Structure 1
Amino acid sequence: MAKEEKLSLEELLEQALVKDEDKPYAVPGNWVWTRLGDITIITGGGTPQSNVTEYYNGGDIAWITPADLSGYNDMYISKGERNITKLGLEQSSAKLMPRDTVLLSSRAPIGYVAIALEQLCTNQGFKSFWPSPIYKPQYLYYYLMQNKKLLETYASGTTFLELSRKKVSQIPFPLPPLPEQQRIVDIIESLFEKLDRAKELAQHALDSFEKRKSAILHKAFTGELIRKWREENGLSFEKWQKYTVKDLVMNLNQGWSPKCENFPSIDYDKWGVIKTTAIQHMEFVEEENKQLPSSLEPREKHELKAGDILITRAGPRIRVGVCCLVKQVRPRLLLCDKAYRFRVNEKLVMPEYIVFALNTPSMLDEINLMKTGISDSGVNLTQNGFQGLKLNIPPLAEQKEIVRILDNLLANEQKAKELCNVIDKIDHMKKAILARAFRGELGTNNPDEESALELLKEVLKEKI
């Protein structure tokens, strides 16, 4: 058999460089577009037979699986849930990889990334990039983190998507000079540290508000919140009475969910059907709707009116039992069939009071226990179960005072929502920083530095 001819440096370079028409975007002049397979060795992993105890018991070789990176936010990893033995390593396709190897989960799911802090190996759910003089591992780490969607476009599979080593090798990679790689990593880490601190403070403030809100709601419906007010007005807690929801509600019904358009009804002349996401805890969001097709006649009996109380009755567990009062609503908006609507006997209870009561932590826990369904992805709240709930109801004068205090609390909740927006913006800012980093737009590039082309040539020379 004839020996395979080795390619010249020029031929290898021509293969390694991404053609102009295939470059994803422009980069500075001393950067080059190459492919991941041309900058380093890429290896897979393996799993020793699980029924052979000698492959695992007493093992001291770190063995990483994608499950070990689920919810894992650190850049570096040194061990997983399990170790394997030297024999387990030898009797499987797992490979011992050096410190600074970049690990990429290549299936179930694609896109977890970490850097090896010590020698370790992985199962077959990874494609790993060995250290190379051509790139900083932290630079590759951030690039892979930024490009999960790109990675998925190179994957294939019927049961689940998987990235093969061949496909991973073809993924384009913007290669700057080494000093620029380090500057990019430094500025990303500096900016991320500040953003993480801001996010931590915002999350702490949000958590503190939620704890205070839960405590106040608990006090409101156990009589503690207005104990002093009650004493000053000569009232007694003994006047509070237990009622079932059935005793209090009137006209309990559910709506209609025809096949709608995939866009909301913005024009008030067009009918819309609310989605369950229109019903949030103590808040109605009318924009969360789908437009009714013009070919369908609206069922006007399901049109929402100010004063309606809504509670979700079917859907994912976390979204069932969510209750709000419709304080105001646009015309031509219909109730969907995955929610109940009702009014209350206002001689006994204020609408605002019962909505607050149904949103207390203890009541939400009680509602959660009565949900029925095989899995958390689809549960139901039955009419009988809902109407059997028992509530503490004070005289109307006390209800008004409780509602007044809780309304003031909700006014402060707007600040909490602003904190949520801050947290979302921080996540978007991180993505924007990474996007700019790999375009050379962070203002750190030095055009006088030697081109990354020379780096690439040095690596390719080893293949000659």
Structure 2
Amino acid sequence: MKTARLKHLASVVAGQAPPGHSVLPLDEAPNDLPFIQGNGEFGVEHPVPRLACAVATKVAASGDVLVSVRAPVGALNIADAAVGIGRGVAAVKGRRNVLDQRFLWWFMHEARDSLHAVSAGSTYRAVTGSDIGGLMVPVWKVEQQRRIAAFLDRESERIETVQNVIERTMTAVGLAASSAFARHPIVTEAPRVRLRFALSGIEQGWSPECEQRPADPKGWAVMKAGAVNYGVFRPEEHKALPIDVVPRPRYELRLGDLVMSRANTRELAGSAAVVTTLGGWRLLMCDKLYRLHLDQRVAIPDFIALAINSREGRDQIEALTSGASGSMQNISQDIVRGLLLPRPSIAEQRMVVEDLARMSYRATRVSQCGSDLRSALLNYREALIHEAVTGKLDVSRISESEMDERLHAATENRLDEVVA
């Protein structure tokens, strides 16, 4: 397979900071060009600008692949309109009839590990436009590039469909558990009190750039935002702390800690869980997590986690979160303190927790299995991109039934455990 450097097949535009006086909030300058500074404005696939610029020094055109050149290096989006780009972003456009833009999108997914390997720095990694231009691209005829891109579009949609089924099932199981909490007679009769009166403090974590792999046994790791999804703490949802980054023990998690997601999608932001196992690692909170310190004379972590995850708690959180539609939602510490939650006595809280523990086996099993499946699907998607882009998989010959078999093999035929 022949390869060529990306700079010979595409244009790479490195972002640049415009004059400071020309940048305003987008709602104050709706007629100016939308402007993004870095990956903080990346959405699921398209950017969600918060700023506008009257004089953009560097501009990405609609359809350009946007690449984060700062931590996390290699994060990707596609410009869906012309947008000014700051120093945290580069824009890549394939040459007409040389490099198909959709194939370029999938190639950049394959190239993320290469970019991470050349990024410089310890706590703050970065790459340059030259690093991106130096990437080696498999050279296929444009027709074959389009076949590969269409195949990956189709299979990615298939994987996303399965992921959505898993998410809906996990949500339904979680709702059943929260419904049981809401119907418990102790909960229904308890007075409602602001959470601030049970808190002695709220602590936010720390997010250095980490390695895209699990930590070694007894090694340091930083938790992901989704580590508390659906009210279950998952110690495996972490990234390894690089060996040259000094850990900050003040953020280390301990058994019994009450942890809450402060930033996630609307359905998951505010999820709370108690740390029940550390999995053999030394785990640090990321900056998208809060640790809630309770006055345990009036509240116990397990009960407060159940109350936050209940429909009553979720309705308050979802009404008050901030963030663009479809993107990360954020929860301030004031929102957390202001949550109005049931407050029975300590003895009654323990009774509720014990009663629901007997009912939660299926919820815990489904949640753990769903988490495992999401990881398996992510690994399968990455492997599929690699095989298709590099030509190890002949996309023109493989059948639908063979792809179904590969998908089931990737999940070890465990889908029925979740959706049954």
TM-score of the pair, normalised by structure 2: 0.55
Q: Percent identity?
A: 13
Q: Structure 1 residues 414 and 141, CA, compared in 2 at 3 Å: closer, same or farther? A: same
For 1:392 and 1:416, locate their aligned partners in 2 and report how far apart those are by CA, in whole Å. 28
**Is 2:330 the partner of 1:361?**
no
The amino acid of 2:14's aligned partner reads: G
Contact conserved, 1:154 with 1:168, CA < 8 A, in 2? no
Pair 1:208-2:154 in alignment:
no
Q: Tell me the equivalent position of 1:438.
A: 389
Q: In the alignment, does 2:256 pair up with 1:311?
A: yes
Alpha carbons 1:99, 1:118 under 8 Å: kept: yes
Q: Name the counterpart of 1:81.
A: 50
- Residues in 2 aligned to 1:414 and 1:362: alpha-carbon distance in whole angstroms: 21
- Spell out the pairing of 1:341-380 with structure 2 (5 A cutoff): 357=303, 360-361=306-307
Q: CA shift at 1:98, angstroms?
A: 3.6
Query: Is the Cα contact below 8 Å between 1:36 and 1:170 reproduced in 2?
Result: yes
Residue aligned with 1:160, SS: coil
1:23-72 deviation digits (Å, cap 9, x = unpaired): xxxxxxxx4111112212222222222224799845432323324543x1
Indicate if the aligned counterparts of 1:34 and 1:172 stay in contact, CA closer than 8 A: yes
Which amino acid in structure 2 is aligned with residue 60 of structure 1? Answer: D
Secondary structure at the aligned position of 1:42 is classed as strand
- Where 2:137 maps in the other structure, the secondary structure is strand
Q: CA deviation at 1:426?
A: 1.9
**What is the CA–CA distance in structure 2 between the aligned matches of 1:180 and 1:115, rounded to whole Å?**
22
Q: What is the CA distance between 1:135 and its match in structure 2?
A: 0.7
Quote the residue 1:420 is aligned against.
371
Higher Rg of the two aligned structures: 1
Q: Residues 106 and 162 of structure 1 are in contact (CA less than 8 Å); yes or no, is this contact kept in structure 2?
A: yes
CA distance in 2, matches of 1:411, 1:55: 47
The question of 1:322 aligning with 2:274 is answered yes
Deviation at 1:212, TM superposition (A): 1.9
Q: Secondary structure of 1:143's match? A: helix
- For 1:129, what is the secondary structure of its paired residue? strand
1:193 deviates by 0.9
Summarize the Cα distance change of 1:37–1:286 in structure 2 as closer, same or farther, 3 Å threshold: closer
- Shift in CA distance, 263/53, structure 1 to aligned 2, threshold 3 Å: closer
Aligned equivalents of 2:366, 2:261: Cα separation in 1: 28
Give the Cα–Cα distance (whole angstroms) in 2 for the partners of residues 82 and 311 of structure 1. 41
- Is this contact kept in 2: 1:63–1:121, CA < 8 A? yes
Structure showing greater relative contact order (alpha-carbon pairs closer than 8 Å, 6 or more residues apart): 1
Structure 2 partner of 1:146: 110
CA distance in 2, matches of 1:206, 1:392: 30
Shift of 1:196: 0.8
Q: CA deviation at 1:218?
A: 3.6
* Aligned 8 A contact 2:16 2:58 in 1: yes
Q: Quick check: 2:115–2:131 contact (8 Å CA) kept in 1? A: no
Residue in 1 aligned with 2:198? none
Distance 1:284-1:130 versus aligned 2 partners, 3 A rule: closer
Sort the Cα spacing of 1:403 and 1:158 in 2 relative to 1 into closer, same or farther, 3 A: closer
Residue 440 and residue 37 in structure 1: after superposition, are their counterparts in 2 closer, same or farther (change >3 A)?
same
Maintained 8 Å contact 1:62/1:80:
yes
Deviation at 1:194, TM superposition (A): 1.4
Q: What letter is aligned with 2:32?
A: D
- Whether 2:28 is the aligned partner of 1:65: answer no
- Write out aligned runs for 1:226-237 (5 A): none
Q: Distance in 2 between matches of 1:48 and 1:286?
A: 42
Aligned to 1:105: 68
Q: Call closer, same or farther: CA 1:175–1:64 in 2, change over 3 Å.
A: farther
Secondary structure, counterpart of 1:104 in structure 2: strand
Residue type at the aligned position of 2:256: I
Query: Any unmatched runs of 5+ in structure 2?
Result: 191-215, 237-254, 263-269, 281-299, 314-330, 332-342, 398-420
Question: CA distance change for structure 1 residues 208 and 163 in 2, over 3 Å: closer, same or farther?
Answer: same
1:45 matched to 2:15? The reply is yes
| 1:174-213 equivalence runs, <5 A | 174-213=138-177
2:6: which partner in 1? 36
The corresponding residue for 2:91 is 128
**Contact (CA 8 Å) 1:136, 1:178: kept in 2 or not?**
yes
| Cross-structure match for 1:258 | none
Secondary structure at 1:156's aligned position in 2?
A: coil
Unaligned runs of 5+ in 1: 1-30, 225-236, 241-261, 265-275, 288-309, 327-332, 334-353, 366-375, 377-388, 447-464
Equivalent-residue separation in structure 2 for 1:440 and 1:154 (angstroms): 24
| Deviation digits for residues 55-103 of structure 1 (CA, Å, limit 9, x no counterpart) | 9845432323324543x112x55x7222322xx13xxx324x4443222
Please report the RMSD computed on the Cα atoms of aligned residues, expressed in angstroms. 4.9
